[in-house]
Amino acid sequence: MKLYCITDCKFVNDLTGYGAALTGGRWNSKSVFLLYTSQNSSLAQLETIKHFDTGRRYISGKCLLVLNVPARSVRTITAANLGRGWRNDPAPKYLQKIGDFFYHQNRYLILKVPSALNPEEYNFIINPRHKDFSKIKIISSKPITIDRRLLKNPVKSKKHR
């Protein structure tokens, strides 16, 4: 299956999950190496933009990575399995425990989870320790431009007179 992620171009060949391990994420604690990918490029972009701070973060130098990932070792979690509050920001700690267990158990290559930003679509969390990880291939990588209109502050609605 094709999966997508956006990364700094200088790290385009790094599929180790180091970035997630450095900071932790919705589905992993710090020091747990997982590779976050999405089912399509627009969701990958949405997930990336969520982390931008337009006042401080440099948004250029990003690349879209397209991966060919074996689809035979997938553990799926649906929104119905997660209970209330799973979309909260910051994320509830139990989500990290799910991802950490997935990583340490090392039974599946992929953890398919609903996106907190768009729960109708899925993100695919990949375990770099899994025996099938070496079968993942980079199909393509190319620089991507983040449209700055997506980064503007929300327009405040005016009261009607």
146 vs 9: CA distance, rounded Å: 13
For residues 72 and 95, is the Cβ–Cβ distance under 8 A?
Answer: no
pLDDT at position 58 is 55
Query: Pick the residue with more confidence: 88 or 160?
Result: 88
pLDDT tens sequence across 34-70 = 999 999 999 999 998 887 654 445 567 899 999 999 9
Q: What's the burial of 88, exposed, middle or buried (CB within 10 Å: 0-12/13-18/19+)?
A: exposed
pLDDT tens sequence across 58-117 = 567 899 999 999 999 999 999 999 989 999 999 999 999 999 999 999 999 999 999 999
Predicted TM-score (pTM) of the model is 0.89
70 vs 13: CA distance, rounded Å: 18
pLDDT tens sequence across 4-16 = 999 999 999 999 9
